[in-house]
Each structure stands twice: as structure tokens, then as C-alpha cells.
């Protein structure tokens, strides 16, 4: 199906309705279907009935954009989205209404309509995930589009990647500035290897996994692989401690602590050697259950760290509600402590003082230069992590005996 030869097609727009799940719960299928019909009529009024192509199985509506300059068409789309809440439908005594989001891909020709529709659907999904009214791609080669498509493909392949062991564990050292400490602590990281053998960083798939719930399966796999998959080496090398990331979704899972208790009992690994990192920017969906899990981890003897502290608005609330014993200061704050005129230095100084008063360990993340290392050390930060201190390495290599393990107790040269 190729319509590009007509020369007047400028783009494809896919329009989706917001919070349809909630509408279904509140009023059943009737209000949702009525609103879709009303929004389709609104699009037909604004663009012409011939330009509204069809409704997709997910309920999104496909709209052809043509016969006008691009900026005019874009303004028309934005104006139409703003009118969607006016498409109210009364059922009984209730007026149901919704809002909408859309994705657009613009073209100069050469791509068939089916492919353009797929790309516009990706833009529409991106708008929904990011909470935006509209996402547009300038072309089929737009870098953000390619990143969104890659994320979708990696997420779709995640279960197979776990089964085929194409999730690959890495480790980055968390360095204690106390050179006399016998402990080597590592944060466990993960990359995904695609079917062609290319490795992709966690930023390519973890954010989407967080939003879809796939992260719970991935968290469980990573924890089991890091502990059970290397139990013999962990038991043998007691000086190695590991820090494992745990999403807010996983932390909200009822009784998740029992799985951890079973793993530690089965392996005989001392719980004090295990730390769980809770990302501050990751939504905790069930705080009472999260508190139950954290309290159970702490009773076992595990450490619990609040990761990316200072990156979001929930950090102090989590610090109050969750029994953490460590805080990892967000790298965005750490990176700017070298600029005295900026606020970040004072913020980090205040956070370190607060954590000291509360008896919490403090880790400086993303330490990218000797200057940052020195400033954090002078502020009282006792543990550091970052590529200027140590690159991430394949996880299994941290268990390889070495004649002399490199320790970093002072600022790297």
C-alpha cells in the first residue's frame, strides 16, 4: 500500500485516548466506544472524513495529514487535541470525557503508508509513556524514533533474553576511601545482548521495562543470577559484597523478602554482604508492602540503599518511610559540585550533613574526575563510585583471583 506518489501526503498522525482503562472501570465499554466515535467525528470535522483512515485494534485513530503546509497541519492537530475534552458523552447521570495524545511522522515520500503508520504509532506510544500531548518525528530516520524502536524491540525480546542468558551482568566497584577496609563492594549492572550479538546499555531497555512491569521479572532474574549463579565464588570470596538494584515495582511485590531469604539460606551467604538499591525515581506502588520488604531485608542483616537521592521529589519521603541505612547521592548533583557558584555544592553538603546526623552511609555516584573525588571526600563522603575510579567489568571477573587487587583510597591521578 503506497500513497506517496500522490505528492500531497505530508505525514501520518495516530491519535489515542487517555485513561481508557479507568473509563472502562468507571462506566464499562459503552462510554469508551462512544468517546472514540465522538473523537473520530471531531477529526473528520477538522481534517475531512476522507483523511480519517481507520481505527486501529487498540482503539487509536489513523489520520492522514496533507493538502496544507506542515506548520498549519501541526497547529490543526494541536487545536484538535485541545478540543477532545469537549467530546463528552452522557450515560445515565454521568458525563464521561477524556483527553488524547498523538504521534506524527512527517515524510517527503518514499515510504509506504503501512510503515508510516507503524512509526506514527511508535510516536503515539512515546507520547503516552512520557505523559505528553504530542510526539512528532521529522523523518523515518529521526534518532529519537530509532531509540524508541530499539527499546520496544529489546523489551519484546526480554523474556527470551533471560531464557537464553543474553542478559549480561557487569559490576562496578563502590570504593571505600578507607584503604584499610578489607571489603570489595560492587554494584551489579546489566546489559542486554540482542540476537545479532550486540550489547545494549541499560538505558536502552530498563526505563521501558520499568513502565510496563517487565522490570519485576528482570529484577528477579538478575538477583538470582548474581547470587545463585555465582554462589560458589561468593561463598569462597567472603571479602566481596554486592549491591543489587531493585525497582519500586519489585519492592512493592508482596512477600518478596521471602524469595531473598530462601536464596540466602540456600547459598549460606551472609546477608551483611548483600545490599539492595532502591531507585528514588522509581515509583513505589504499594508503600506498606515496600516497607514490609525493606524491614525484612534489614532484619535479615542486608543493607538497603536509597539510590539517585536528590533526583526526584520522593527522596525525603522514602528516607522517612523506609528503613534504609545508605544513601547514594544522584550523579546529576555530584557532577556539578565543582562549580561553587551553583547550588549543587550546597545541596550535596547539606545532604551529607543530614545523612551523617541520621547515621547513614553516603556514596557519591558518577564521580568523573579527581577534582570531584577530592571535593566529596572533603565534604565527608566515605564511598565513591564512577568511571574515573573504576570502569564496569564483566561480573564473573570480580571473582578471578588476582595477585594484587587495585584499591583506590585517594583521588585517582
**Model pTM greater than 0.85?**
no
Mean pLDDT confidence for 119-140:
89
CB 278 within 8 A of CB 304: yes
Pairwise CA distance, residues 256 & 80, whole Å: 46
Ranges of each domain in the chain: 4-141, 162-399
User: Mind listing the pLDDT tens digit for each residue in 187-203?
Assistant: 999 999 999 999 999 99
Mean pLDDT confidence for 92-109:
89
Return the C-alpha cell found at 369.
574526575
**Given this model, what pLDDT does residue 92 score?**
80
CATH architecture of 162-399: Alpha-Beta Barrel (3.20)
Mean pLDDT confidence for 49-59:
84
Pairwise CA distance, residues 298 & 369, whole Å: 34
Reported as half-sphere exposure (CB side, CA atoms, 13 A), residue 124 has a value of 25
Contacts of 68 (CB under 8 A, 6+ apart): 10, 76
* CA-based torsion, 285, 291, 292, 293: positive or negative: positive
Return the C-alpha cell found at 1.
500500500
CB 376 within 8 A of CB 384: yes
Mean pLDDT confidence for 44-70:
89
Q: Please determine, for residue 251, whether its predicted confidence score (pLDDT) is greater than 50.
A: yes
Return the C-alpha cell found at 123.
510516536
- Buried/exposed code over 65-75 (b: 16+ C-beta within 10 A; e: otherwise): bbeeeeeebbe
Pairwise CA distance, residues 291 & 81, whole Å: 41
Pairwise CA distance, residues 246 & 243, whole Å: 10
User: In the block, which residue shows the cell 520522593?
Assistant: 314
CB 333 within 8 A of CB 347: yes
**Given this model, what pLDDT does residue 114 score?**
86
User: Mind listing the pLDDT tens digit for each residue in 133-182?
Assistant: 999 998 777 888 888 889 989 999 999 999 999 999 999 999 999 888 99
User: Mind listing the pLDDT tens digit for each residue in 259-268?
Assistant: 999 999 999 9
Confidence of residue 208 (pLDDT cuts 50, 70, 90): confident
User: Mind listing the pLDDT tens digit for each residue in 344-374?
Assistant: 999 999 999 999 999 999 999 999 999 999 9
CB 320 within 8 A of CB 287: no
- Buried/exposed code over 116-150 (b: 16+ C-beta within 10 A; e: otherwise): bbebbbbbbbbbbbeeeebbbbeebebeebeebee
Contacts of 328 (CB under 8 A, 6+ apart): 277, 305, 306, 307, 308, 309, 362, 363, 364, 365, 385
Least confident span in 159-173, 287-301, 317-331:
317-331
CATH architecture of 4-141: 2-Layer Sandwich (3.30)
Orientation angle between helical segments 344-358 and 370-379, nearest 10 degrees? 40
Amino acid at each position: 500500500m503506497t500513497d506517496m506518489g500522490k505528492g500531497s501526503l505530508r505525514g501520518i498522525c495516530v491519535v489515542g485516548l487517555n485513561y481508557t482503562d479507568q473509563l472502562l472501570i468507571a462506566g464499562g465499554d459503552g462510554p469508551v466506544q462512544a468517546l472514540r466515535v465522538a473523537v473520530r467525528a471531531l477529526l473528520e470535522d477538522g481534517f475531512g472524513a476522507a483523511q480519517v483512515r481507520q481505527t486501529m485494534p487498540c482503539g487509536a485513530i489513523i489520520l492522514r495529514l496533507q493538502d496544507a503546509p506542515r506548520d498549519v497541519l501541526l497547529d490543526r492537530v494541536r487545536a484538535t487535541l485541545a478540543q477532545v475534552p469537549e467530546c463528552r458523552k452522557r450515560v445515565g447521570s454521568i458525563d464521561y470525557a477524556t483527553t488524547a495524545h498523538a504521534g506524527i511522522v512527517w515524510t517527503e515520500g518514499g515510504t509506504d503508508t503501512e510503515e508510516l503508520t507503524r512509526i506514527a504509532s511508535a510516536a503515539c506510544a512515546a507520547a503516552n509513556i512520557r505523559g505528553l500531548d504530542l510526539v512528532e518525528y521529522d523523518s523515518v530516520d529521526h534518532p529519537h524514533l530509532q531509540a524508541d524502536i530499539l527499546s520496544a524491540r529489546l523489551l519484546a525480546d526480554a523474556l527470551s533474553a533471560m531464557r537464553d542468558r543474553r542478559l549480561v551482568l557487569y559490576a562496578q566497584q563502590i570504593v571505600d576511601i578507607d584503604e584499610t577496609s578489607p571489603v570489595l563492594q560492587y554494584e551489579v549492572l546489566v546489559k542486554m545482548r540482542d540476537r545479532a550479538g550486540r550489547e545494549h546499555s541499560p538505558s536502552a531497555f530498563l526505563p521501558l521495562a520499568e513502565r510496563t512491569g517487565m522490570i519485576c521479572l528482570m529484577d528477579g532474574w538478575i538477583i538470582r543470577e548474581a547470587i545463585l549463579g555465582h554462589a560458589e565464588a561468593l561463598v569462597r570470596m567472603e571479602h566481596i559484597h554486592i549491591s543489587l538494584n531493585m525497582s519500586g515495582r519489585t519492592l512493592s511485590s508482596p512477600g518478596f523478602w521471602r524469595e531473598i531469604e530462601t536464596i540466602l539460606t540456600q547459598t549460606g551467604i551472609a546477608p551483611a554482604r548483600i545490599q539492595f538499591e532502591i531507585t528514588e525515581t522509581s515509583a513505589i506502588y504499594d508503600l506498606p508492602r515496600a516497607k514490609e520488604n525493606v524491614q525484612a531485608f534489614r532484619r535479615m542483616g542486608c543493607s538497603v540503599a536509597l539510590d539517585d537521592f536528590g533526583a526526584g521529589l520522593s527522596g525525603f519521603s522514602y528516607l522517612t518511610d523506609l528503613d534504609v541505612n545508605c544513601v547514594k547521592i544522584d550523579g546529576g548533583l555530584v557532577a556539578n559540585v565543582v562549580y561553587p557558584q551553583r547550588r549543587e555544592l550546597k545541596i550535596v553538603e547539606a545532604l551529607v550533613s543530614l545523612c551523617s546526623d541520621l547515621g547513614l552511609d553516603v556514596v557519591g555516584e558518577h564521580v568523573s574526575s579527581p577534582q570531584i573525588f577530592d571535593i566529596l571526600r572533603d565534604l565527608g563522603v566515605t564511598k565513591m563510585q564512577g568511571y574515573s575510579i573504576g570502569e564496569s567489568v564483566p561480573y564473573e571477573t570480580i571473582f578471578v583471583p588476582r595477585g594484587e587487587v587495585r584499591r583506590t583510597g585517594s583521588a585517582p591521578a
